[in-house]
Amino acid sequence: MAKIAFLGLGVMGYPMAGHLLAAKHEVSVWNRTSSTGARWAAEYKAKACDTIEEVVANCDYVMVCVGNDADVKAVAVPALHAMRKGSILIDHTTASAKCARECGELATTLGIGFIDAPISGGEAGAVNGQLTIMCGGDMTTYQKAEEIMQAYGKATKHMGPVGAGQLTKMVNQICIAGTLQGLSEAINFAQKAGLDVDEVVQAIGKGAAQSWQMDNRASTMGKGEFEFGFAVDWMRKDLQIALEEASANGADMTLTKLVDSYYQDVQDMGGNRWDTSSLIKRLTDK
């Protein structure tokens, strides 16, 4: 059993912290909105702390799951300064590789291990403990962290030094964006051709066109249902991180830039919190 602090109880962090408790770890939490921390503590019969310094004191592991680079620095920096030497901070936020490296450098100077460990699987993956976790950091630290992350991860993989986890998550989001645009056009084509979307998916869903998005979103896309899953605002944040990284490394992101502009269109339609599969709305609402 490890002593763990979990900082950030959003739609992902809230159930993830619960899985750690279910795995028999000693878990305390902190959240910027204290009422959320109090609600988690009441639900799980555990402890919520008022300050970052209090929650991380004497912990073996500190998990962070917040919104963006600025949030990571606002939470991780004071946490690192309050953590004991030899402990490990695991950042599950999807942020930039630069942010991860800066946090990793600070951790090293303080004698603390650091893993950047962005997650994929959405709210359902967090609730069901079925997340995919892409990790950057030294191998010894990763091996210690891996056992803890198994409480909510179905698959964890070490990708390289600090920052490599975030770079891998960028690849993940680039793939999803392109796949969803193709699926949107395909479903819209099927509808205009007078085909039944569900029957089309049954016909092609076991061949080369198959994808997770097709299996899990094609039917709801055909029905115009988007009130679930990974929000457009979050995807645009992630794509901006990837596009900024590409501007530095010279990668051609022609399609990703185009799909990002389409997500802007969805936001302009009021779809900020719609699932990312709502790309199809641009086509069906014409």
Domains in the chain, ordered, with CATH?
3-161 (3.40.50.720), 167-284 (1.10.1040.10)
Asked if 221 and 73 touch (Cβ cutoff 8 Å), the reply is no
* pLDDT over 80 at 194, yes or no: yes
More confident residue, 47 or 228: 47
Stated pTM of the model: 0.95
pLDDT for the residue numbered 258: 98
Which pLDDT band, with edges at 50, 70 and 90, does 286 fall under?
A: confident
Strands (E), the chain: 3-7, 26-30, 47-48, 61-64, 88-91, 113-116, 119-120, 131-136, 153-160
- Mean pLDDT, residues 64-68: 97
Three-state SS letters, 18-43: HHHHHCCCEEEEECCCHHHHHHHHHH
pLDDT for the residue numbered 229: 80
d(CA 5, CA 17): 9
CA 213, 244, 166, 67 torsion-angle sign: negative
DSSP 227: S
* pLDDT over 80 at 188, yes or no: yes
pLDDT for the residue numbered 228: 85
Helix, strand, coil share (%) of the chain residues, nearest 5: 55, 15, 30
d(CA 85, CA 227): 44
Which residues are known to be catalytic?
169
Tell me the pLDDT of the chain averaged across its residues.
97
Q: Range with the lowest mean pLDDT among 5-14, 68-77, 220-229, 250-259?
A: 220-229
Could you read off the pLDDT of 13-62 as tens digits, one per residue? Answer: 999 999 999 999 999 999 999 999 999 999 999 999 999 999 999 999 99
Q: Is 80 exposed, middle or buried (0-12, 13-18, 19+ CB in 10 A)?
A: buried
Residue count of the chain, please give it: 286
d(CA 83, CA 71): 18
